[in-house]
Amino acid sequence: MWGIISSTFLGIYCLISVYIARRGWSVLKASKKIIQRIYWFCFGILVLAFPITEIGQGFIPLINKVWISTCGWYSMLAVVYIFFFLLLADLVQLLDKYLRFVPKVIKHHNRTPLIIGCLILLLVFSTLTYGTYNAQNPVITRYELSVDKSAPSLNQLRVAMISDIHYGKIVDVQRLNKMVNSINELNPDVIVIDGDICDSTVNQQEFQQLLEAFKQLHSKYGVFAVPGNHDRWARDDNQVRLMKEAGVNVLRDQYIKVENSFYMIGRDNPSRRGGGNTEGRKELGDLTKGVDSSLPLILLDHQPLELETAQQNQIDLQLAGHTHEGQIFPGNLITKLVYEIDWGYLKKGNYNLIVSSGYGTWGPPLRIGTHSEIVCATIRFK
């Protein structure tokens, strides 16, 4: 499946690159030879950086360096956004044929194509710069909701939720500590970590730093986590044990009754890539057989899937992540087609769902059209 997707993407990427090359050449073909050579040299580096860094990761040790891989991602996005802005310029030109709104002095000036090209490059640079800043400055997204059940000794519950941290080379220990401080400032009753805690490349030293950071999380009723599709640590029973010793209740098809007032129910991840032996993930109905459904049921599931099943099993609040809300435009248009809800809040009867866009990033360290976030949900009980 991944082979088909990769081949399709590579084919589209090649077509886009050819289109950009022809457009650039149409502007510079009358220029001096040295200008033409510089153009083809720079264009070659821009277009080839991404496939070389991705294909060569397993063969060329240097490409394993995070900054090399990151440059590859930036070059790919630059190509994609140059293509988008060129299409926009083509659309303006097409509309002008019928509406004639572009002044003739601009339309017929011999430097107009070059100026448009420079403006497009400036727009692409600005977009990528904004995306980098946006990814590194998460927002607090707040929700208030009601659950039509009583929770003995509780009128309300403040839940701080984080998902898709992707701790590793990009989301490093400094950003991790910043996240911990932001969560603690919310003074939550419960902290939820909803999968994809680590990237698959995390080494033992980095994992230990993660544990030390998690030890600094403070809440009234504890920290609860489920694995995501990138969480290879969840395959290792020793690392799961270390996570629990750091104060994180790792729930893999398990539940915990908290203060005799509500349940935290955690599902294993349905992907076989990470999260332990997920092929045998329990059915939600089997998992919740022992719970008292008269109490509020809070479900943690990394991916926003099986929503009807959650409703049928009297889940009051489901918390999910995984989607990143597409992370980078036009990815958010795709996730909206794939998922019933790819970000935000959904209510159906007594069932509530919150999907987070996540704290970190996967692949390119940018967010365009989405935000990195920490969720703070206040739940009021009957």
pLDDT of residue 279: 57
- The residue type found at 68 is I
Angstrom distance (rounded) from CA 66 to CA 73? 11
Angstrom distance (rounded) from CA 128 to CA 64? 23
Burial of 30 from C-beta contacts in 10 A (0-12 / 13-18 / 19+): exposed
List, for residues 180-213, the tens digit of each pLDDT value: 999 999 999 999 999 999 988 888 999 999 999 9
pLDDT of residue 342: 97
- Provide the 8-state DSSP code for 137: S
Angstrom distance (rounded) from CA 108 to CA 116? 13
Task: Select the more confidently predicted residue: 319 or 114.
Answer: 319
Please determine, for residue 97, whether its predicted confidence score (pLDDT) is greater than 90.
no
Average pLDDT over residues 254-277: 81
Domain boundaries, the chain: 2-134, 139-381
The Cα-based distances of 128 to 73, 74, 121, 132, 364 in angstroms read 11, 8, 11, 6, 10
Please determine, for residue 274, whether its predicted confidence score (pLDDT) is greater than 50.
no
Q: CA-CA-CA-CA torsion for 238, 239, 245, 246, nearest 10 degrees?
A: 170
Angstrom distance (rounded) from CA 364 to CA 368? 11
Nearest to 375 by CA among 361, 356, 360: 356
139-381: which CATH topology? Purple Acid Phosphatase; chain A, domain 2 (3.60.21)
Average pLDDT over residues 310-318: 97
Please give the backbone phi and psi of residue 321, each rounded to the nearest 5 degrees, phi first: -140, -125
Its pTM stands at: 0.91
Angstrom distance (rounded) from CA 360 to CA 193? 12
pLDDT of residue 116: 93
The percent of residues above 70 in pLDDT, for the chain, comes to: 95
* Distant-in-sequence, close-in-space partners of 244: CB < 8 Å, separation ≥ 6: 250
Please determine, for residue 31, whether its predicted confidence score (pLDDT) is greater than 90.
no
How big, in percent rounded to 5, are the helix, strand and coil portions of the chain? 45, 20, 35
